Amino acid sequence: DAGVTQSPTHLIKTRGQQVTLRCSPKSGHDTVSWYQQALGQGPQFIFQYYEEEERQRGNFPDRFSGHQFPNYSSELNVNALLLGDSALYLCASSLREEYNEQFFGPGTRLTVL
């Protein structure tokens, strides 16, 4: 049973570019949350997707957008990249009815130059 998978593992972009990160949830999970983790900090909630809709959003600008597909996988898009967007982006999946545990993926390390 595969856990949460994310791609790519690492990514290097330049300021102003756009990036798409991908996440496949753990088998059977229907809810995907995205977090941004800067170096030396705890993860910060970006948004959560359930039934292909964004259900709640953290304090992130509209440059951050997402999507969830019918198979529950999800994408995170970031436009007009800034140096401050450099971070580890974590995807977490869970089952909406059993929310006592979220499983995190290995993350995508994004570096903006």
Partner 1 sequence: GQNIDQPTEMTATEGAIVQINCTYQTSGFNGLFWYQQHAGEAPTFLSYNVLDGLEEKGRFSSFLSRSKGYSYLLLKELQMKDSASYLCAVRDRGGATNKLIFGTGTLLAVQP
Return residues touching partner 1 (CB under 8 A): 4, 31, 33, 35, 40-45, 48, 55-56, 58, 90, 92, 94, 96, 99-107
Q: Please, what is the minimum distance in Å from the beta carbon of residue 22 to partner 1?
A: 15
Q: How far is CA 25 from CA 13, 29, 52, in A?
A: 25, 6, 13
Q: Which is nearer to partner 1, 46 or 78 (CB)?
A: 46
Q: Which is nearer to partner 1, 16 or 28 (CB)?
A: 28
Q: Please, what is the minimum distance in Å from the beta carbon of residue 76 to partner 1?
A: 15
Q: Which is nearer to partner 1, 26 or 85 (CB)?
A: 26
Q: Please, what is the minimum distance in Å from the beta carbon of residue 36 to partner 1?
A: 11
Q: Please, what is the minimum distance in Å from the beta carbon of residue 35 to partner 1?
A: 8
